[in-house]
Amino acid sequence: MTAKRTWIEVASTAVLATAISLLALLPALKKLGSAWGGGDMLSAYVNIENWGLFGFTTGNRFGYPLGMNQNLFPSIDITQNSFAALIGWITGNPFIGINLLLFLSFPLVAVLAYCSIRLTGLRGPLAVALAVAFTMIPFHFARGLGHISLATMYGAVTAVILAQMVGSGRMKNMLFPHTDTPTKIRITNYSILVALVITTAWSGVYYAAFGLLLMAAAWLWQLATTRADTLINLIPIIAVAVVAVTGFIPSLLALQADPPYASLGERLPYESVIFAGVLAIAILAAPISRLGGPFVTYNTEVNQAFGNAPQYENTTLSNYGTWITLAAIVFIAVALLTRYRARLGLLSMLLITTLLFFIPWGLNYVFAALVTPQIRAWNRLLPVLLLLIVLMAATIFANMKVRNIKITHTYPVLAIAIVILGITAVESAWPFSTPYRQGAQDGAQIIQVSRDYTTAIDQQLPQNCGILQLPHQVYPESGPTRDFNDYEHFWNSIIDSNKSWSYGAVKNTNAGSWLSALPQVPNSEDVDLLAQAGFCGIHLDTRAFSATAKQRIVANLTERYGPPTVTAATNQDSVPDWFFFTTDPQTRTQDPATWSPELVDYFFAPAITTERVDLANVSVAPRGSKGDLIWWWTITPEAVFTLHPLDPRIPLTEITGGVRIPSCQDQIEAQVTLTLGSGET
């Protein structure tokens, strides 16, 4: 009967979580086969297009002609990518997998949260309601329209479950059950542990890191309180670490085979401070209520209170709690003054550890300074923080139930559970229906524009050929330029697999160096060489330019190659902002192995980078370009440039350039000294 009741509660949790999540997701689910957003979400869709069995595949559909190799960026979003890629392979649609993953993450997280709550001793309607309420935190919904690997959240919950098992001593019974334990139960226990370890280790580097920190804290707690099973409790910690490192193997091999000539993602320890969590925001319920009266006042006051704060990742909507987590905090604070505060030791240890890494200038900065600054966004501990708060409230209520307090009887508990679910539905899920509806509508609209645009190009140029995408945007993490968001160039390449598109070559690598060297508008000599390499046209997205620059660039290309053969407007009822110019209608994609020496010289010319250790030591401003001119403004009297040979076939024999000094323009001459790294001047 107990097992049957458990399964009923698990099923109820999944059904309720699904139903409540539909209040937000239903408008988007009507467009399941379309994109639900751009920016980081568009990048996630492309990731799935390139995902293999255990890493990213390489090819030149993106990043033509030398291709895109996403393995160069260490990532272990393996569970998310594998599921979404499988769905994409079955359906032939690049969007369904990610969208379905996000939708299914709600019942999955709820069930896992229920299991975590059960470890506190609480069961029944309240356990179900608390699990569902946690699942609907703003982090889940808001991140779902951007960082999908973070939005799924199940890796955070499995990390907490493993920490609970380590700190409570349950790990020994799971790994080494009593001799008379049936084989079926043994296999079930081992399967659960393997699933927990793999999910924690392979659902994103942040959740893997958080899991290791939480389990280490739980291990120290167990060591300090009982000193029992010390070595056994190390097994899951070691297992998560080993599995996580295994997930990095494709990236490690790619970096060894094709090392970048400059950092792909430089991080400073101080970034762990500016991207740390904001506790004041995490405590409060998100100011998103659609109800009137005092809720309008609350929304206004909270938004105004934090409106002047620096607008980083840690001050966005995803960083808030809910009315349920706020009530849980108050409940815990009151209960700590009573006899119902028993059995909170482990959870308190985990909560304190989480807070010390969550807040600015905490252990996160020590970690960044002594271990690695690559994990910098410690605000992403929020799901762990809120889950621990829910678990502490559940533990206190379980303690009250043991003492048979009236509020823990069937009808009061049922009433509390209904109130929690009602508040969660109205205040946590329903407000997100608008952004999901709008995201899906905008995604469907621009996809249709892209489909019409690329179909027209394919009708004119049926062969597979390269298309140069302007403006040049480094991949990844270029950042927005005017109305041109990050990853916007993917809208066409993800739809049209009949062409090979230039955007996607990884920055600071051989594949992307030639793109970074191009001026704002390639000159005719550049375009002629690109035609020899298989480029048949230029796609221009004018959202990145001012009106004046747009007119100048379109006029330049029109003068050289005639009027654009295809145009499109990304926004309805607006002027065109996509322009396609045919530069060579006969060319086809070329294998780099067949290139002439002239093409090899062009695409593998030495790269130029400027010194950028930290803001205090920058000597050269970012490169500027107008038309086919490029320049660097020097900031200090000694400006440092680094030239990186990319291919041994192309030695560095000559440097050509010019120096212009506006402050000395009236003088006949000015002295300039060039000093090589060898010291030669």
361: in domain: yes
- Please indicate, yes or no, whether residues 301 and 370 belong to a single structural domain of this protein: yes
Residue 450 pLDDT greater than 80, yes or no: yes
Q: What percent of the chain has pLDDT over 70?
A: 96
582: in domain: yes
Q: Which residues of 74-99 are buried (b: 16+ CB within 10 A; e: fewer)?
A: bbbbbbbbbbbbebbeeeeebbbbbb
Q: Considering only CA atoms, which of 198, 195, 191, 189 is closest in space to residue 171?
A: 189
58's CB contacts (< 8 A; 6+ apart) are 50, 67, 68, 69, 71
For residue 114, what are the CA distances in angstroms to 98, 111, 118, 161, 247? 24, 5, 6, 10, 28
- Please indicate, yes or no, whether residues 453 and 598 belong to a single structural domain of this protein: yes
247: in domain: yes
Residue 660 pLDDT greater than 70, yes or no: yes
- Please indicate, yes or no, whether residues 306 and 397 belong to a single structural domain of this protein: yes
Residue 613 pLDDT greater than 60, yes or no: no
pLDDT in tens, 350-365: 999 999 999 999 999 9
For residue 469, what are the CA distances in angstroms to 305, 311, 313, 538, 625? 42, 31, 29, 6, 16
Looking at every residue in the chain, the average pLDDT score rounds to: 91
Q: Report strand pairing: 466-470 vs 641-644.
A: unpaired
Kindly state the average pLDDT of the residues 533-540.
Answer: 95
**pLDDT band at residue 630, thresholds of 50, 70 and 90?**
confident
396: in domain: yes
Residue 616 pLDDT greater than 70, yes or no: no
Which tokens sit at 526? 């550049």
pLDDT on residue 678:
67
pLDDT on residue 614:
55
Q: Is the dihedral of CA 75, 80, 84, 85 positive or negative?
A: positive
pLDDT in tens, 474-505: 888 888 888 888 899 999 999 999 999 999 99
138: in domain: no
pLDDT on residue 53:
84
Domain boundary among 375, 408, 441: 408
Residue 37 pLDDT greater than 70, yes or no: yes
Helix (H) or strand (E) holding 629: strand 629-631
Residue 36 pLDDT greater than 90, yes or no: yes
Count of alpha carbons within 13 angstroms of residue 138, beta-carbon side:
25
Residue 615 pLDDT greater than 60, yes or no: no
- Please indicate, yes or no, whether residues 574 and 615 belong to a single structural domain of this protein: no
Query: Quick check: 512 and 63 in contact, CB under 8 A?
Result: yes
- Please indicate, yes or no, whether residues 173 and 278 belong to a single structural domain of this protein: no
Q: Considering only CA atoms, which of 516, 475, 469, 460 is closest in space to residue 493?
A: 469
221: in domain: yes
417: in domain: no
> Rounded to whole angstroms, how far apart are CA atoms 335 and 315?
30
pLDDT on residue 490:
95
Q: Which residues pair with 609 in a beta bridge?
A: 642
Domain boundary among 233, 259, 285: 259
- Location of structure tokens 């010289």: 601
Say if residue 307 is exposed, middle or buried (CB neighbours under 10 Å; 0-12, 13-18, 19+).
Answer: exposed
- Please indicate, yes or no, whether residues 245 and 300 belong to a single structural domain of this protein: no
- Please indicate, yes or no, whether residues 472 and 583 belong to a single structural domain of this protein: yes
pLDDT on residue 667:
64
Q: Which residues of 351-368 are buried (b: 16+ CB within 10 A; e: fewer)?
A: bebbbebbbbebbbbebb
In terms of pLDDT, which residue wins out, 150 or 258?
150
**pLDDT band at residue 654, thresholds of 50, 70 and 90?**
confident
- Please indicate, yes or no, whether residues 287 and 208 belong to a single structural domain of this protein: no
- Domain range for residue 515? 449-603
> Rounded to whole angstroms, how far apart are CA atoms 340 and 335?
6
Q: Which residues pair with 539 in a beta bridge?
A: 469, 580
> Rounded to whole angstroms, how far apart are CA atoms 138 and 320?
6
pLDDT in tens, 182-237: 889 899 999 999 999 999 999 999 999 999 999 999 999 999 998 778 899 999 99
Query: Quick check: 37 and 99 in contact, CB under 8 A?
Result: no
In terms of pLDDT, which residue wins out, 652 or 633?
633
- Please indicate, yes or no, whether residues 253 and 385 belong to a single structural domain of this protein: no
102: in domain: no
> Rounded to whole angstroms, how far apart are CA atoms 159 and 212?
8
- Please indicate, yes or no, whether residues 564 and 466 belong to a single structural domain of this protein: yes
Which tokens sit at 8? 């009923």
Q: Considering only CA atoms, which of 116, 144, 283, 122 is closest in space to residue 214?
A: 116
User: Cβ atoms within 10 A of the Cβ of 176, count?
Assistant: 14
DSSP character at residue 620: B
- Please indicate, yes or no, whether residues 241 and 274 belong to a single structural domain of this protein: no
> Rounded to whole angstroms, how far apart are CA atoms 476 and 505?
9
Which tokens sit at 619? 């000597």
Domain count, the chain: 4
What is the CA angle 411-417-423, rounded to 5? 135
Domain boundary among 229, 259, 289: 259
- Please indicate, yes or no, whether residues 500 and 517 belong to a single structural domain of this protein: yes
pLDDT in tens, 561-585: 999 999 999 987 788 999 999 999 9
**pLDDT band at residue 617, thresholds of 50, 70 and 90?**
low
Residue 632 pLDDT greater than 80, yes or no: yes
> Rounded to whole angstroms, how far apart are CA atoms 637 and 197?
54
